[in-house]
Structures are given as structure tokens and as C-alpha cells.
Chains A and B, each alone.
Chain A
Amino acid sequence: MILDPLQQLGRKGLAFFGRLGRAHLFLMQTLTGVPGLLLRPGLVIRQLYSVGVLTLLIILVSGLFVGMVLGLQGYNTLVDFGAEESLGVVVALSLVRELGPVVSALLFAGRAGSALTAEIGLMKATEQLSGMEMMAVDPMRRIVAPRFVAGFLSMPLLAAIFSIVGVYGGYFVGVGLLGIDDGAFWSQMQAKVDLSDDVYNGVIKSFVFGFVAVWIAVFEGYDTVPTSEGVSRATTRTVVHTALAVLGLDFVLTALMFGD
């Protein structure tokens, strides 16, 4: 009776570390399947469509609005100091360094990650994956690896699109509606945003986030309990875990990149 909570704790701990180990072994297996995709690029292109192109709309719309909000809020703060010309810097730096990679990773998890988990999870629940194995088709190579590569490749593109749309959203609010000087907006931005420090680090961040987000998504799908309840829980876990991982990693990466 007294041992019950302890037993529970131990069981949870074992389950946690078991999952962690499985996730990494799964990643290794996936990565070994990646080189073979060079021979079958069609598989990746199909996934790029469902993972990347279909996420494009939400990225465009949210990028625009995030940029517009940044423009409004930044203007309200800066105008007190007579520094509203720096609005371009504020908008561009916050988008390129942080919001672009992070928010598009969160949106990616919600739009594409959950879909990947549900798709693979349902394939497992309806025994399509074991069916493939029966036909000597390796589901890791045929199903998991193309989705993994597509997610990894489309994340930086989505983040870049998010950032640039956001910059133009901020431009629209700042220059178009609030009357900041057009030239000052761009020239201050170009003077303060550094290509290697800011833009490249943002791209590195989005590669990392893409890797983690798509890894979690395909693993949760592959590791799901093959019932409809299991698939629904796996989908939820994908979104929650990706959000936590992305935000935590963002802190670590920011400390490493911009720490000094």
C-alpha cells in the first residue's frame, strides 16, 4: 500500500526514459533512411506539398499580423523618446532573431506536426505500416524519412517568409498609417541588422526548430498506441511537446548566439 506511489513513480520514470531512448533510436533509423531518398525525390516533393505549401497560408497571415502589431506597439513606445525612426530596427530584429523562427515553429507544430502525427498514427492503427513490412517495404524509408526531410527543409523557408512578410506588415503600419519617414525606416534597419549575427543565426535557429518539431511529430505518430484514443493523445502530445521544446531550445540558442 505504502509502496504504491513509489512504484508509480518508478514506472513513470522507466516509461519516460524508455520513450526518450526509443525516440533517439528512431531518429538514428530515420537518418539512415535519408540518403536513399536521393533516388526517389518524388516522395519528398509530395511531402513538401503537404507539410510546406499547405502551411504557407497560416504563416503568411500570421506573419503579416505579427509584423503589424509589432509596428503599432513599437511606435507607441518609441514615439515617447522621439525615436520612432528606429521602428524598422525594432520590427526587423525581433522578427529575424526571435519571432520568425519561434512563431513559425509553433504554427508549424499546430498545422503540419499534428497532421503528420495523426497520419502516421492512423497508418499504424489501421496496420498499414505492418502491411508494408509484410511486403518488404521499410516504412521508415518509405513513410517516415520523406516526411522528416520535408519538414526539416520547409521550416527555414517558412520562417524566412514569416519574417519578411512581418517586416512588410510593420512597414505598412509604420510608414503607411503612422507616417514614419520611408527612407529612415529602411536605412536604420539596414544599419542595425547584421547579416551574419542576426539573419544567419535566425536561419540556424529555424533549422534546429524544424529538426526538433518534425522529429517529435513523426516519432509521436510512429510510437502511438494503435487505437483512436492513442492517436488523439499522440496528436495532442506533438503540439505540446513541440511548443515546450521550441521555447526551451530558443532560450538556449539565444544565450549561445547573442549572449556575449
Chain B
Amino acid sequence: MGHSRLIELWVGLFVAAGMAALFMLAMQVSNLSNNISGDTYAITAAFENIGGLKVRSPVTVSGVRVGRVDAIDYDTRAYEAVVTLSIDARYDSFPEDTSASIFTSGLLGEQYIALEPGGSETNLVEGDRVQLTQSALVIEQMVGQFLYNQAGKQQE
């Protein structure tokens, strides 16, 4: 009987190690731990150009992650991109005149939305639209403008 007890023990250890590895893959390696779970509220923001923004991109205030991009749509009437942001319900006191900008983390990093609180007395609530927005900087446009300016200077 001792032999089969030993086998059971080893199998138990094996299964436990496998489960622990799966658990660690979920917790340590993947984004489960920094997912925002629980209550969120949605606000929208319209941008002329969202650059490389994607669904699930982070939304930050002062560099602190407070939510993520939930959906990206295109408004065919206003010719603008409409981005839906879901913000953690803990952060529920952003003034109405908060502005949203699309920035890039690092030179080639991913793009994210940075909120900058304004000074209004009333706060943004579910379904509101952020009025002040700044589009993503598109590198090609910047390079083009730079070259154009340089050419202009040389002619003067």
C-alpha cells in the first residue's frame, strides 16, 4: 500500500504545482492584477484624431491610472472620433471643464488619454461629454510642418 500512497502524493504535488503555475500566470504575468474591476462610470470625449489609441488603453490623471478606454466610434455627422472612457467609480469628482488629451508614453510607446481637471463646481457624471479635447500628435504631420517651416525660413 505504501507504493500507491507515494504515487498519490506525487500526483497531488504535480497537480498542485500545475495549478499554482496557472495561478501565477494569471496573477503575476498577466494584467489581471491591474484590471479595474467593480463599479465604473462612462464619459465620452470627441477627438479630431485619436492616432493609435486602442480599446483598453489607459486613462490617467496626473499619471495615475483611473480608468480605460471602453469603446471607440466615429461620428459621421461631426467627423470626429468619439471615445468612451470608463472611469473607476472611486474617482468621481472631475470638474465639468476637465480636458482630455491623447499622449504617447515614451517616443514609440502606446498612447493613452490624460485627463486634466478644470475649476468648475459641478462634476462629470455618467454619460457626460468632455468638452475640451486635444488630439493625438501624429508624427508625420509634425515632421511635415517642421519641414514646411524650415523651407519657409530659407526663402526669407
Considering residues A186, A194, A195, which has the most beta carbons from chain B within 10 angstroms of its beta carbon? A195
- Count how many chain A residues have C-beta atoms less than 8 Å from C-beta atoms of the other chain: 33
- Identity of the chain B residue whose Cβ is nearest the Cβ of A202 in the assembled complex: B25
The verdict on A49 contacting chain B, using a C-beta distance below 8 Å, is: yes
State the Cβ distance, B106 to closest chain A Cβ, in Å: 9
Mask for A187-201, Cβ within 8 A of B = 1, else 0? 001111111001100
A164:B24 contact, CB within 8 angstroms: yes
| A176-231 contacts to B (CB < 8 Å) | 186, 189-195, 198-199, 202-203
B25:A164 contact, CB within 8 angstroms: yes
A157:B21 contact, CB within 8 angstroms: yes
Partner of A49 from B7, B22, B28, B33 at Cβ < 8 Å: B7
Interface of chain B: mostly helix, strand, loop or mixed: helix
Residues of B within 8 A of A42 (CB): 4
Considering residues B14, B29, B35, which has the most beta carbons from chain A within 10 angstroms of its beta carbon? B29
Residues of B within 8 A of A156 (CB): 18, 22
Partner of A161 from B21, B26, B29 at Cβ < 8 Å: B21
Q: List 29 A-B contacts (CB under 8 A).
A: A45-B8, A45-B11, A46-B7, A49-B10, A52-B11, A52-B14, A92-B29, A156-B18, A156-B22, A157-B14, A157-B21, A160-B18, A160-B21, A163-B21, A163-B29, A164-B28, A164-B29, A167-B28, A167-B29, A186-B28, A189-B29, A190-B30, A191-B34, A192-B31, A194-B31, A195-B26, A195-B31, A198-B30, A199-B25
